[in-house]
């Protein structure tokens, strides 16, 4: 440990999540003694500001991790598979935002509000969950502890930026083309996203669920230590720039009441209760954007027997769904060092 702080590397620093990691490190006053920004050769040489100073982005290679304490990887699964080992060998603790290692038995997959103790078993590598899984986990974990969740049905409303900065730009370009009376074209997404929505743009697997949906199921099960928990996900892209929303119905082992669920969520870490029925004010992506907390509301009983609850959540998938959860993992590791 460096007395004045830590040597930090951000891999994929110019990407949508990489940029957010820098903003979150600033916002949290994270003790950064030295900062190394890394990206592919295409982005090397770019300059990025951090705490009022400019940093030049260096090219990602295996020799880049000397003296690094914490390396945040957010450059896709291929880059992670290629370079994470080098970072660990160099002595860095890696928080990896890609899907590359999430389901590996020897790699903890962590949302600090849910399973912080899993961090203890880390071997220099911690996986950061899929954005929808992280947001959902924060919202329903306290309900799982209280009532014992035995089934989850979840439909998502996922923003364009979940597919990266270029996808967000595509939505903006399509909307501008529409406003100008020009034809709408698409290249990042398989379909027009402006004024449209579609099943998540990942491959549909043999079980009928797409990759995003399968990640959601597997990752919630792993974090909750509930390997057989039934989860029925439907992942949908919507023409929102940022923040994912999810319509959730949980079934519970023990009786649930709206009043008790509301009370629990009102003091749960990482949750902001937005549940103002008289003013029709509930979680919305526009309000969740930029917030570290996940907004949770529309609490109501799902069936008459008081063993199920419906809720609606919105969370910034670049923050709790990615950058903030990654930085939070590093904060947690430092706390228990």
- Cα separation values, 190 from 6, 78, 221, 235, Å: 42, 22, 30, 15
Rounded CA separation 260/75 (Å): 41
* Smallest distance from a copy of itself to CB 243, Å: 9
**Least CB distance from residue 40 to a copy of itself, whole Å?**
27
Active site residue 244: yes
Q: What track of x and - describes contact with a copy of itself for positions 272 through 301 (by CB under 8 A)?
A: -----xx-x-x-xxx-----------xxxx
**Euclidean distance between CA atoms 99 and 216, whole angstroms:** 11
Plot region of 49 (φ>0 → left; ψ -120 to 50 → alpha; else → beta): beta
Closest to a copy of itself by CB, 80 vs 158, is 158
How many residues touch a copy of itself (CB under 8 A)?
Answer: 55
d(CA 194, CA 153): 27
Based on DSSP, count helices (H) and strands (E) in the chain, helices before strands.
8, 16
Residue among 82, 115, 166, 234 that touches a copy of itself (CB under 8 A): 234
Site for a copy of itself in 169-228 (CB under 8 A): 171, 175-176, 178-180, 190-192, 194-199, 201, 203-204, 207-210
Choose, from 131, 132, 200, 235, the residue flagged as catalytic.
131
CA torsion through residues 227, 159, 139, 331, sign: positive
User: Applying CB under 8 A, does 245 fall inside the site for a copy of itself?
Assistant: yes
> Residue 139 and residue 133: Cα distance in Å, rounded?
10
Which residues have a Cβ under 8 Å from the Cβ of 186 and sit 6 or more positions away?
A: 170, 174, 192, 193
Site for a copy of itself in 127-166 (CB under 8 A): 151, 153, 155, 157
Please report, as ranges, the residues that interact with a copy of itself according to CB under 8 A: 151, 153, 155, 157, 171, 175-176, 178-180, 190-192, 194-199, 201, 203-204, 207-210, 230, 232, 234, 236, 238-241, 245, 247, 249, 258, 277-278, 280, 282, 284-286, 298-304, 308, 310, 312
> Which positions are annotated as active-site residues?
131, 244
């Amino acid at each position: 440990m460096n007395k004045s702080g830590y040597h930090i590397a951000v891999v994929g620093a110019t990407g949508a999540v990489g940029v957010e990691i820098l903003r979150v490190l600033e916002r949290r006053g994270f003790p950064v003694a030295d900062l190394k920004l890394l990206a592919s050769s295409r982005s090397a040489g770019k300059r990025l500001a951090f705490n009022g100073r400019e940093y030049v982005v260096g090219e990602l290679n295996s020799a880049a991790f000397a003296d690094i304490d914490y390396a945040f990887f957010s450059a896709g699964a291929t880059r992670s598979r290629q370079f994470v080992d080098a970072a660990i060998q160099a002595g860095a603790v890696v928080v990896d935002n890609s899907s590359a290692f999430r389901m590996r038995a020897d790699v903890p997959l962590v949302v600090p509000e849910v399973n912080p103790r899993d961090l203890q078993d880390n071997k220099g590598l911690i996986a950061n969950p899929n954005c929808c899984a992280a947001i959902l986990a924060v919202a329903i974990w306290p309900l799982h502890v209280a009532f014992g969740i035995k089934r989850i049905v979840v439909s998502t409303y996922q923003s364009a930026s979940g597919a990266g900065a270029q996808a967000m730009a595509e939505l903006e370009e399509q909307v501008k083309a529409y406003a100008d009376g020009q034809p709408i074209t698409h290249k990042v997404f398989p379909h027009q996203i402006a004024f449209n929505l579609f099943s998540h743009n990942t491959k549909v697997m043999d079980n009928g669920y797409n990759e995003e949906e399968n990640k959601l199921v597997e990752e919630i099960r792993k974090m909750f230590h509930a390997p057989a928990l039934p989860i029925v996900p439907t992942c949908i892209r919507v023409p929102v720039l940022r923040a994912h929303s999810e319509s959730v119905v949980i079934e519970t082992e023990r009786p649930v009441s709206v009043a008790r669920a509301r009370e629990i969520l009102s003091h749960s870490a990482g949750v902001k209760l937005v549940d103002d029925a008289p003013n029709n004010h509930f979680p919305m992506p526009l309000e969740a954007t930029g917030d570290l907390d996940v907004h949770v509301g529309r609490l109501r009983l799902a069936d008459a027997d008081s063993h199920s609850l419906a809720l609606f959540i919105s969370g910034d998938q670049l923050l709790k769904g990615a950058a903030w959860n990654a930085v939070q993992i590093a904060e947690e590791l430092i706390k228990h060092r």
